[in-house]
Amino acid sequence: MTALRPRDSRTVLSSRPADVAVRDLRVAYRTRDGRHLALDGADLTVGAGEFVALVGPSGCGKSTLLKAVAGLVEPATGGASIGGRPVVGPPPGVGMVFQNDALLPWRTVYENVRFPLQVAGGRRAEQDARIRDLLDQVGLAEFAGYLPQQLSGGMRKRVALARTLAADPVLFLMDEPFGPLDALTRRRIGAEFLRLWETLRTTVIFVTHDVDEALLLADRVVVMSPAPGRVHREFPVTLERPRNARELRFTPRYRDLHDAISDALGVSG
């Protein structure tokens, strides 16, 4: 598998990474039995260029918090801001990557990456140059003419990342983006995305159930409480970068962090 190849960081983003603030966030959903309170007083601050991983039990509101930052759900109280601006509806400059890569099946790899550039406008020649560069970054230049169904799961994730990068996001919101992949591909894509991020230094909020994945990627791991969700504990990840998963897992600091986060999650062993 060809590795993701980051460009010179000066040419990647047209905007600086954004900070994020979530204050007293309360979100409820209507159900057949009444209302389900997903988040109740969630508070979170993410610094510009910081990589934060959210972990917590299923149904604790991790994805809901992400959607609130993306302007996809309306809070009952509180709210989120990006770069000091309150989120009211989907804000510009936010790239989202979900478990489902949401590629357009009738478009080739090349045309899927073109989509956000078409929305933004601009000259076609400039779009073409950008697409070629992005596909080269993610190691898919030779697959530009393929349709999504002709690609492996890992390759589809690469297309989704290239399409997200095309919009020059100031913030990445990632909801278990590598979850559907097999274990080997997941580790490989995660490590390659980390190398890319270490050049981009875009702000990232990353939802995962995997403590090992969180420790490999993040600057800080945030543990959420069971529903209704709120921030329960925060753990700075004081592990040097670049990180090598094989080497890290045998270090005392890694084991201590893993144990502490697992204890906060109520996970034994």
How many Å apart are CA 213 and CA 211, to the nearest integer?
Answer: 5
Closest CA to 165 of 189, 130, 195, 191: 130
Could you tell me what percent of the chain has a pLDDT over 70?
93
Phi, psi for residue 202 in degrees, rounded to 5: -75, 145
The pLDDT value given to residue 189: 80
- What structural domains does the chain harbor? 14-93+171-265 (3.40.50.300)
The answer to which of 20-29, 57-66, 67-76, 121-130 has the lowest mean pLDDT is 121-130
Band of residue 27 on the pLDDT scale cut at 50, 70, 90:
very high
Phi, psi for residue 33 in degrees, rounded to 5: -95, 5
Instruction: Identify the residue with better confidence: 234 or 157.
Output: 234
| Six-digit token string for 211 | 């403590």
pTM above 0.75, yes or no: yes
Q: What is the DSSP letter of 125?
A: H
C-beta of residue 115 within 8 angstroms of C-beta of residue 104:
yes
Q: What is the average pLDDT value for the chain, to the nearest integer?
A: 87
The pLDDT value given to residue 199: 81
Residue at 54: amino acid letter: L
Q: Are strands 171-175 and 220-224 parallel, antiparallel or unpaired?
A: unpaired
User: In angstroms, how far is CA 75 from the centroid of its own chain?
Assistant: 21
Distances (CA, A) of 185 to 1, 43, 122: 9, 33, 35
How many Å apart are CA 138 and CA 123, to the nearest integer?
Answer: 23
Under DSSP, is residue 170 helix (H, G, I), strand (E, B) or coil?
coil
Band of residue 247 on the pLDDT scale cut at 50, 70, 90:
confident
The pLDDT value given to residue 1: 43
Phi, psi for residue 234 in degrees, rounded to 5: -130, 140
Band of residue 15 on the pLDDT scale cut at 50, 70, 90:
low
